[in-house]
Amino acid sequence: MTYTQLGVLAVIVAIGLDLFLLRTKLVARKVFWVSYAIIVCFQLITNGMFTGFGIVRYDGAAIIGGSSPENGTPTFIGDGRLVFAPIEDLLFGFALVLLSLGCWVWLGRRGLQRTPKSGPPIWRR
């Protein structure tokens, strides 16, 4: 499987879990999309630094677009990249954020940690 196929699969699985298994329906909420817009800005900054400085490199055959030019630095925008990173990174980032928040909401609905955990342990009071 290519990086692109894995990214699309990750998004489909995350949305399926959100809508049908966890039933949190975060993708239907405006607050999720506002929060994700903030997160994606920071994701682009960090991904751009890692790929722009050459810390992380991708095989051109596995991503949309091509490989880096001869000088090793990928294009800033274009050729399947956004802020140096492949656009597939946005797919994985979306899936990660959605799955993390979905699990958080799902566990919260189950009553996990109803009693605040700050302060000394309950048995020492």
Say what the pTM is.
0.82
Q: At residue 70, does pLDDT exceed 70?
A: no
CB burial of residue 100 (10 Å; 0-12, 13-18, 19+): exposed
Report the pLDDT value the prediction gives residue 71, as an integer from 0 to 100. 61
Where are the chain's structural domains?
Answer: 3-105
Please determine, for residue 116, whether its predicted confidence score (pLDDT) is greater than 90: no
DSSP string, the chain: --HHHHHHHHHHHHHHIIIIIS---GGG-HHHHHHHHHHHHHHHHHHHHHHHTTSS---TTTSSS----TTSPPPSEETTEETTEETHHHHHHHHHHHHHHHHHHHHHHTTTT-S---SS-GGG-
Statement: residue 64 has pLDDT above 70: yes
